[in-house]
Amino acid sequence: MDRFQNKSGFAIDSDPYGPPPSYDKAQAGTGSKWAPKNWTKKTMIAVAIGVCVLIAVIIIAAVLGSRAASGSYPDYSPLNYTLKDTYHGNDFFDNFNYFTGWDPTSGFVHYVPNTTAQQYNLTYAGEDSAVLRVDYNSGTDSSTGRFSVRVTSKQTYDEGLFIFDVLHSPYGCSTWPALWLSDPSNWPENGEIDVMESVNQGNTGNQMTLHTSKHCKMDVKRKETGDVLDKNCYAKAGDQQGCGVQGPKQSFGEAFNNIGGGVYAMEWRNEGIRVWFFPRGSVPSDIPSDVSNTSAPDPSTWGEATADFPGTNCDISSHFKNQSIIANIDLCGSWAGQTSVYSDEWGCPGQCTDFVANNASAYEKAYWEFSSFRVYQAN
Protein backbone atom coordinates (compact mmCIF):
# COMPACT_ATOMS: atom_id res chain seq x y z
CA MET A 1 0.00 0.00 0.00
CA ASP A 2 2.47 2.65 -1.04
CA ARG A 3 -0.21 4.55 -2.91
CA PHE A 4 -0.34 7.24 -0.27
CA GLN A 5 3.36 7.44 0.32
CA ASN A 6 6.00 9.12 -1.76
CA LYS A 7 9.52 7.76 -2.26
CA SER A 8 10.88 9.49 0.85
CA GLY A 9 8.21 7.91 3.01
CA PHE A 10 6.31 11.09 3.81
CA ALA A 11 2.58 10.48 4.10
CA ILE A 12 0.63 12.61 1.67
CA ASP A 13 -3.00 13.70 1.92
CA SER A 14 -4.96 10.45 1.92
CA ASP A 15 -7.85 12.25 0.27
CA PRO A 16 -6.03 14.24 -2.40
CA TYR A 17 -9.22 15.11 -4.26
CA GLY A 18 -10.85 16.99 -1.36
CA PRO A 19 -14.59 17.06 -0.65
CA PRO A 20 -16.97 16.83 -3.64
CA PRO A 21 -17.91 20.24 -5.14
CA SER A 22 -21.21 21.57 -3.72
CA TYR A 23 -24.10 21.03 -6.05
CA ASP A 24 -26.03 24.17 -6.95
CA LYS A 25 -29.68 23.18 -6.58
CA ALA A 26 -30.86 26.49 -8.03
CA GLN A 27 -29.34 25.50 -11.41
CA ALA A 28 -31.30 22.25 -11.48
CA GLY A 29 -34.75 23.85 -11.21
CA THR A 30 -37.44 22.86 -13.68
CA GLY A 31 -37.45 26.30 -15.28
CA SER A 32 -33.74 26.19 -16.08
CA LYS A 33 -32.56 26.41 -19.68
CA TRP A 34 -30.24 23.48 -18.82
CA ALA A 35 -33.13 21.04 -18.43
CA PRO A 36 -33.56 19.08 -21.73
CA LYS A 37 -37.35 19.13 -21.56
CA ASN A 38 -37.22 22.90 -22.00
CA TRP A 39 -35.04 22.71 -25.15
CA THR A 40 -36.34 23.74 -28.53
CA LYS A 41 -36.22 21.24 -31.41
CA LYS A 42 -33.42 23.28 -32.98
CA THR A 43 -31.31 23.03 -29.82
CA MET A 44 -31.96 19.30 -29.62
CA ILE A 45 -30.78 18.73 -33.20
CA ALA A 46 -27.71 20.89 -32.60
CA VAL A 47 -26.88 18.94 -29.44
CA ALA A 48 -27.39 15.60 -31.23
CA ILE A 49 -25.12 16.64 -34.09
CA GLY A 50 -22.57 17.89 -31.58
CA VAL A 51 -22.58 14.56 -29.75
CA CYS A 52 -22.20 12.62 -33.02
CA VAL A 53 -19.28 14.78 -34.13
CA LEU A 54 -17.62 14.34 -30.72
CA ILE A 55 -17.96 10.55 -30.86
CA ALA A 56 -16.57 10.46 -34.41
CA VAL A 57 -13.61 12.62 -33.39
CA ILE A 58 -12.85 10.32 -30.43
CA ILE A 59 -12.99 7.19 -32.62
CA ILE A 60 -10.80 8.70 -35.33
CA ALA A 61 -8.27 9.93 -32.75
CA ALA A 62 -8.13 6.51 -31.10
CA VAL A 63 -7.56 4.73 -34.42
CA LEU A 64 -4.91 7.21 -35.55
CA GLY A 65 -3.26 7.09 -32.13
CA SER A 66 -2.96 3.32 -32.08
CA ARG A 67 -1.78 3.34 -35.70
CA ALA A 68 0.88 5.88 -34.77
CA ALA A 69 2.00 3.79 -31.81
CA SER A 70 2.15 0.56 -33.77
CA GLY A 71 3.57 2.13 -36.90
CA SER A 72 6.13 4.64 -35.73
CA TYR A 73 9.67 3.48 -35.25
CA PRO A 74 12.83 5.38 -34.34
CA ASP A 75 15.37 6.47 -36.90
CA TYR A 76 18.41 4.35 -36.01
CA SER A 77 20.54 5.90 -38.73
CA PRO A 78 24.29 5.28 -38.27
CA LEU A 79 26.30 7.29 -35.74
CA ASN A 80 30.00 7.97 -36.03
CA TYR A 81 31.51 6.01 -33.19
CA THR A 82 35.01 6.29 -31.82
CA LEU A 83 36.66 3.96 -29.34
CA LYS A 84 36.52 5.35 -25.80
CA ASP A 85 37.51 2.53 -23.40
CA THR A 86 39.01 -0.94 -23.71
CA TYR A 87 38.84 -3.48 -20.89
CA HIS A 88 41.32 -6.23 -21.70
CA GLY A 89 44.49 -7.90 -20.49
CA ASN A 90 46.32 -8.04 -17.18
CA ASP A 91 44.86 -4.81 -15.84
CA PHE A 92 41.24 -5.76 -16.64
CA PHE A 93 40.06 -5.61 -13.01
CA ASP A 94 41.88 -2.34 -12.26
CA ASN A 95 38.98 -0.66 -14.05
CA PHE A 96 36.49 -1.93 -11.46
CA ASN A 97 35.54 -1.45 -7.82
CA TYR A 98 34.76 -4.57 -5.81
CA PHE A 99 31.33 -4.40 -4.19
CA THR A 100 31.44 -5.79 -0.64
CA GLY A 101 28.15 -4.90 1.10
CA TRP A 102 25.19 -7.13 1.82
CA ASP A 103 23.79 -8.44 -1.42
CA PRO A 104 20.93 -6.09 -2.40
CA THR A 105 19.14 -9.03 -4.03
CA SER A 106 19.25 -11.27 -0.90
CA GLY A 107 21.65 -13.87 -2.25
CA PHE A 108 23.43 -16.51 -0.15
CA VAL A 109 26.76 -15.02 -1.06
CA HIS A 110 29.64 -13.02 0.39
CA TYR A 111 30.97 -10.59 -2.19
CA VAL A 112 34.65 -10.31 -1.39
CA PRO A 113 37.08 -7.37 -1.72
CA ASN A 114 39.89 -7.48 -4.29
CA THR A 115 42.51 -8.82 -1.87
CA THR A 116 40.34 -11.84 -0.93
CA ALA A 117 39.38 -12.32 -4.57
CA GLN A 118 43.06 -12.53 -5.46
CA GLN A 119 43.88 -14.81 -2.54
CA TYR A 120 41.18 -17.31 -3.61
CA ASN A 121 41.79 -16.66 -7.31
CA LEU A 122 38.16 -15.56 -7.79
CA THR A 123 39.25 -12.81 -10.16
CA TYR A 124 42.16 -13.47 -12.44
CA ALA A 125 43.23 -11.35 -15.37
CA GLY A 126 45.61 -12.81 -17.93
CA GLU A 127 46.90 -11.42 -21.20
CA ASP A 128 44.05 -12.90 -23.23
CA SER A 129 41.12 -13.10 -20.85
CA ALA A 130 39.73 -12.22 -17.42
CA VAL A 131 37.99 -14.74 -15.16
CA LEU A 132 35.46 -13.97 -12.40
CA ARG A 133 34.26 -16.98 -10.45
CA VAL A 134 32.45 -18.43 -7.44
CA ASP A 135 34.67 -20.13 -4.86
CA TYR A 136 34.68 -23.91 -5.38
CA ASN A 137 37.33 -24.73 -2.77
CA SER A 138 35.86 -27.37 -0.47
CA GLY A 139 37.97 -26.05 2.43
CA THR A 140 36.15 -22.68 2.66
CA ASP A 141 33.42 -22.32 5.29
CA SER A 142 30.33 -21.55 3.20
CA SER A 143 27.75 -22.17 5.91
CA THR A 144 26.66 -18.50 5.88
CA GLY A 145 27.07 -18.00 2.13
CA ARG A 146 29.69 -18.71 -0.51
CA PHE A 147 32.45 -16.34 -1.64
CA SER A 148 31.73 -14.66 -4.95
CA VAL A 149 32.49 -11.40 -6.72
CA ARG A 150 30.60 -8.36 -7.96
CA VAL A 151 32.62 -5.71 -9.78
CA THR A 152 31.42 -2.25 -10.89
CA SER A 153 33.30 -0.21 -13.49
CA LYS A 154 34.85 3.01 -12.20
CA GLN A 155 33.91 4.67 -15.48
CA THR A 156 30.26 5.65 -15.93
CA TYR A 157 28.45 6.16 -19.21
CA ASP A 158 25.49 8.13 -20.59
CA GLU A 159 25.35 6.50 -24.04
CA GLY A 160 27.44 4.35 -26.31
CA LEU A 161 28.06 1.18 -28.24
CA PHE A 162 29.27 -1.58 -25.91
CA ILE A 163 30.96 -4.68 -27.28
CA PHE A 164 31.21 -7.55 -24.78
CA ASP A 165 33.35 -10.43 -26.04
CA VAL A 166 32.48 -13.32 -23.70
CA LEU A 167 34.18 -16.73 -23.71
CA HIS A 168 32.34 -18.51 -20.88
CA SER A 169 29.16 -17.91 -18.87
CA PRO A 170 28.48 -19.32 -15.38
CA TYR A 171 25.67 -21.82 -14.88
CA GLY A 172 24.41 -24.50 -12.51
CA CYS A 173 21.81 -24.88 -9.75
CA SER A 174 21.62 -21.82 -7.44
CA THR A 175 23.59 -19.48 -9.72
CA TRP A 176 22.28 -16.10 -10.83
CA PRO A 177 24.97 -14.52 -13.01
CA ALA A 178 24.65 -11.19 -14.75
CA LEU A 179 26.56 -8.83 -17.01
CA TRP A 180 24.70 -5.56 -16.80
CA LEU A 181 24.78 -1.79 -16.53
CA SER A 182 23.28 0.31 -13.78
CA ASP A 183 23.77 3.19 -11.39
CA PRO A 184 23.13 1.25 -8.16
CA SER A 185 23.05 4.40 -6.01
CA ASN A 186 20.26 5.91 -8.17
CA TRP A 187 18.08 2.90 -8.92
CA PRO A 188 15.69 2.69 -10.64
CA GLU A 189 15.69 6.42 -11.55
CA ASN A 190 18.86 6.09 -13.65
CA GLY A 191 17.83 2.73 -15.10
CA GLU A 192 19.33 -0.72 -15.51
CA ILE A 193 20.29 -2.51 -18.71
CA ASP A 194 20.76 -6.27 -18.34
CA VAL A 195 22.83 -7.55 -21.26
CA MET A 196 23.36 -11.13 -20.05
CA GLU A 197 21.41 -12.73 -17.25
CA SER A 198 20.09 -16.15 -16.37
CA VAL A 199 19.50 -18.46 -13.40
CA ASN A 200 20.24 -22.05 -12.40
CA GLN A 201 21.14 -24.28 -15.38
CA GLY A 202 20.77 -21.26 -17.64
CA ASN A 203 19.81 -23.36 -20.64
CA THR A 204 16.66 -21.59 -21.84
CA GLY A 205 18.37 -18.61 -23.45
CA ASN A 206 19.78 -15.33 -22.23
CA GLN A 207 17.45 -12.65 -20.88
CA MET A 208 18.01 -9.04 -21.93
CA THR A 209 15.99 -6.67 -19.75
CA LEU A 210 15.47 -3.01 -18.91
CA HIS A 211 14.41 -1.81 -15.46
CA THR A 212 13.32 1.83 -15.17
CA SER A 213 11.27 4.35 -13.26
CA LYS A 214 7.64 4.79 -14.38
CA HIS A 215 6.49 5.50 -17.96
CA CYS A 216 8.76 3.33 -20.07
CA LYS A 217 6.91 0.71 -22.09
CA MET A 218 7.70 -1.50 -25.06
CA ASP A 219 4.09 -1.79 -26.28
CA VAL A 220 5.21 -0.40 -29.66
CA LYS A 221 6.64 -1.51 -32.97
CA ARG A 222 9.92 -3.42 -32.49
CA LYS A 223 12.36 -5.19 -34.79
CA GLU A 224 13.92 -8.12 -32.98
CA THR A 225 14.49 -11.86 -33.24
CA GLY A 226 14.12 -12.65 -29.51
CA ASP A 227 10.95 -13.58 -27.61
CA VAL A 228 9.20 -10.82 -25.66
CA LEU A 229 8.66 -11.69 -21.97
CA ASP A 230 7.16 -8.46 -20.64
CA LYS A 231 6.56 -4.97 -22.03
CA ASN A 232 6.48 -2.74 -18.95
CA CYS A 233 9.98 -1.63 -17.96
CA TYR A 234 8.87 -0.02 -14.68
CA ALA A 235 11.06 -1.71 -12.08
CA LYS A 236 8.36 -2.00 -9.44
CA ALA A 237 5.53 -3.30 -11.63
CA GLY A 238 4.28 -6.89 -11.38
CA ASP A 239 6.96 -9.23 -10.00
CA GLN A 240 9.59 -6.53 -10.62
CA GLN A 241 10.63 -8.45 -13.71
CA GLY A 242 11.19 -5.41 -15.98
CA CYS A 243 10.73 -5.64 -19.75
CA GLY A 244 12.66 -8.68 -20.89
CA VAL A 245 13.47 -10.40 -24.17
CA GLN A 246 14.75 -13.97 -24.35
CA GLY A 247 17.46 -14.99 -26.80
CA PRO A 248 18.08 -18.38 -28.44
CA LYS A 249 19.18 -21.39 -26.34
CA GLN A 250 22.84 -21.09 -27.21
CA SER A 251 22.96 -17.49 -25.98
CA PHE A 252 23.77 -18.58 -22.41
CA GLY A 253 25.13 -21.43 -20.28
CA GLU A 254 26.62 -24.72 -21.39
CA ALA A 255 25.48 -24.40 -25.03
CA PHE A 256 27.03 -20.92 -25.20
CA ASN A 257 30.27 -22.13 -23.64
CA ASN A 258 30.47 -25.13 -25.98
CA ILE A 259 30.73 -22.86 -29.03
CA GLY A 260 33.38 -20.67 -27.38
CA GLY A 261 30.83 -18.06 -26.32
CA GLY A 262 30.27 -15.06 -28.53
CA VAL A 263 29.86 -11.33 -28.70
CA TYR A 264 27.07 -9.25 -27.20
CA ALA A 265 26.77 -5.79 -28.71
CA MET A 266 24.59 -3.26 -26.92
CA GLU A 267 23.85 0.09 -28.51
CA TRP A 268 22.38 2.72 -26.19
CA ARG A 269 21.33 5.98 -27.84
CA ASN A 270 18.42 8.42 -27.57
CA GLU A 271 16.47 6.53 -30.24
CA GLY A 272 16.54 3.27 -28.30
CA ILE A 273 18.56 0.42 -26.84
CA ARG A 274 19.35 -2.64 -28.94
CA VAL A 275 21.21 -5.83 -28.08
CA TRP A 276 22.68 -8.26 -30.61
CA PHE A 277 23.96 -11.73 -29.80
CA PHE A 278 26.57 -13.10 -32.19
CA PRO A 279 27.65 -16.70 -31.58
CA ARG A 280 31.39 -17.33 -31.98
CA GLY A 281 31.99 -17.90 -35.67
CA SER A 282 29.19 -15.52 -36.69
CA VAL A 283 30.65 -12.31 -35.31
CA PRO A 284 30.43 -9.51 -37.93
CA SER A 285 33.74 -8.60 -39.54
CA ASP A 286 33.49 -5.02 -38.31
CA ILE A 287 33.90 -6.27 -34.72
CA PRO A 288 37.59 -7.12 -34.81
CA SER A 289 38.67 -9.67 -32.19
CA ASP A 290 42.02 -7.88 -32.06
CA VAL A 291 41.57 -5.10 -29.49
CA SER A 292 44.46 -3.09 -30.94
CA ASN A 293 42.29 -2.44 -34.00
CA THR A 294 40.40 0.73 -33.05
CA SER A 295 38.14 0.90 -36.10
CA ALA A 296 34.52 1.32 -35.01
CA PRO A 297 31.75 -1.19 -35.73
CA ASP A 298 28.60 -0.10 -37.57
CA PRO A 299 25.38 -1.62 -36.14
CA SER A 300 23.42 -0.57 -39.25
CA THR A 301 25.14 -3.43 -41.12
CA TRP A 302 24.19 -6.17 -38.65
CA GLY A 303 20.53 -6.79 -39.41
CA GLU A 304 17.77 -7.21 -36.86
CA ALA A 305 18.78 -7.07 -33.20
CA THR A 306 18.13 -9.93 -30.77
CA ALA A 307 16.39 -7.47 -28.44
CA ASP A 308 15.05 -4.07 -29.51
CA PHE A 309 13.92 -1.50 -26.94
CA PRO A 310 12.87 1.51 -29.07
CA GLY A 311 12.34 4.88 -27.44
CA THR A 312 8.86 5.28 -28.96
CA ASN A 313 7.06 5.08 -25.59
CA CYS A 314 10.11 5.51 -23.35
CA ASP A 315 12.28 8.61 -23.15
CA ILE A 316 15.64 6.81 -23.20
CA SER A 317 17.82 9.78 -22.26
CA SER A 318 15.77 10.57 -19.15
CA HIS A 319 15.42 6.93 -18.01
CA PHE A 320 19.07 5.88 -18.50
CA LYS A 321 22.01 7.79 -17.04
CA ASN A 322 25.35 7.38 -15.32
CA GLN A 323 25.61 3.63 -15.91
CA SER A 324 28.53 1.48 -14.76
CA ILE A 325 29.32 -1.92 -16.27
CA ILE A 326 28.71 -4.58 -13.62
CA ALA A 327 29.62 -8.29 -13.65
CA ASN A 328 28.64 -10.59 -10.81
CA ILE A 329 27.56 -14.09 -9.86
CA ASP A 330 24.87 -14.17 -7.23
CA LEU A 331 23.69 -17.40 -5.56
CA CYS A 332 20.06 -18.11 -4.64
CA GLY A 333 18.55 -14.69 -3.83
CA SER A 334 15.31 -13.12 -4.97
CA TRP A 335 15.30 -14.78 -8.39
CA ALA A 336 17.35 -18.01 -8.57
CA GLY A 337 16.57 -19.08 -5.00
CA GLN A 338 12.78 -18.83 -4.88
CA THR A 339 11.28 -22.31 -4.40
CA SER A 340 8.98 -21.71 -7.37
CA VAL A 341 12.06 -21.08 -9.49
CA TYR A 342 14.85 -23.19 -7.95
CA SER A 343 12.79 -26.37 -7.39
CA ASP A 344 9.60 -26.07 -9.40
CA GLU A 345 10.91 -24.46 -12.56
CA TRP A 346 14.45 -25.87 -12.67
CA GLY A 347 14.20 -29.08 -10.64
CA CYS A 348 17.26 -28.30 -8.53
CA PRO A 349 17.77 -30.51 -5.44
CA GLY A 350 16.84 -29.69 -1.82
CA GLN A 351 17.03 -26.12 -0.56
CA CYS A 352 19.01 -23.57 -2.55
CA THR A 353 21.06 -22.40 0.44
CA ASP A 354 21.90 -25.99 1.47
CA PHE A 355 23.15 -26.64 -2.04
CA VAL A 356 25.36 -23.52 -1.85
CA ALA A 357 26.71 -24.38 1.61
CA ASN A 358 27.47 -28.04 0.94
CA ASN A 359 28.28 -28.50 -2.71
CA ALA A 360 31.56 -26.72 -3.46
CA SER A 361 32.44 -28.85 -6.48
CA ALA A 362 29.22 -27.81 -8.23
CA TYR A 363 30.76 -24.33 -8.73
CA GLU A 364 33.71 -25.33 -10.84
CA LYS A 365 31.88 -24.18 -13.98
CA ALA A 366 30.34 -21.15 -12.32
CA TYR A 367 32.63 -18.60 -13.89
CA TRP A 368 32.62 -15.75 -16.34
CA GLU A 369 35.49 -15.50 -18.78
CA PHE A 370 35.73 -12.28 -20.73
CA SER A 371 37.98 -11.66 -23.69
CA SER A 372 37.33 -7.91 -23.77
CA PHE A 373 34.82 -5.13 -23.24
CA ARG A 374 35.00 -2.18 -25.62
CA VAL A 375 33.03 1.05 -25.43
CA TYR A 376 32.53 3.37 -28.41
CA GLN A 377 30.84 6.73 -28.22
CA ALA A 378 29.43 9.08 -30.81
CA ASN A 379 29.71 12.32 -28.85
**Residue 28: CB minimum distance to ligand NAG, A:** 56
Measured distance CA(178)–CA(125) in Å, rounded: 19
Backbone angles phi, psi at 177, to 5 degrees: -85, 150
Q: What is the DSSP letter of 287?
A: S
Could you tell me if 195 and 208 are in contact, meaning their C-beta atoms sit under 8 angstroms apart?
yes
Could you tell me if 176 and 107 are in contact, meaning their C-beta atoms sit under 8 angstroms apart?
yes
Candidates 6-14, 61-69, 181-189, 263-271: pick the segment binding ligand NAG (CB under 6 A). 181-189
Where does residue 49 rank: exposed (0-12), middle (13-18), buried (19+ CB within 10 A)?
exposed
Beta strands in 74-128 (DSSP E): 82-87, 96-98, 109-111, 123-125
Candidates 34-42, 178-186, 247-255, 335-343: pick the segment binding ligand NAG (CB under 6 A). 178-186
Query: Could you tell me how many residues of this chain bind ligand NAG (CB under 6 A)?
Result: 24
Known catalytic residues are 192, 197
**Residue 233: CB minimum distance to ligand NAG, A:** 20
Residues 111-170 that bind ligand NAG (CB under 6 A): 114, 121, 124, 131, 156
Interacting residue with ligand NAG among 74, 89, 279, 288 (CB under 6 A): 288
**Residue 162: CB minimum distance to ligand NAG, A:** 16
**Residue 25: CB minimum distance to ligand NAG, A:** 56
SS3 annotation, 297-352:
CCHHHCCCECEEEEHHHECHHHHCCCEEEEEEEEEEHHHHCCHHHHHHHCCCCCCH
359 is a site residue for ligand NAG (CB under 6 A): yes
Interacting residue with ligand NAG among 109, 178, 362, 366 (CB under 6 A): 362
Measured distance CA(363)–CA(379) in Å, rounded: 42
Candidates 13-21, 136-144, 179-187, 214-222: pick the segment binding ligand NAG (CB under 6 A). 179-187
Candidates 50-58, 303-311, 327-335, 353-361: pick the segment binding ligand NAG (CB under 6 A). 353-361
Q: Is the dihedral of CA 110, 155, 326, 295 positive or negative?
A: negative
**Nearest CB to ligand NAG, comparing residues 221 and 321:** 321
Residues that bind ligand NAG (CB under 6 A): 79-80, 94, 114, 121, 124, 131, 156, 183, 185-186, 285-286, 288, 293, 295, 322, 324, 349-350, 355, 358-359, 362
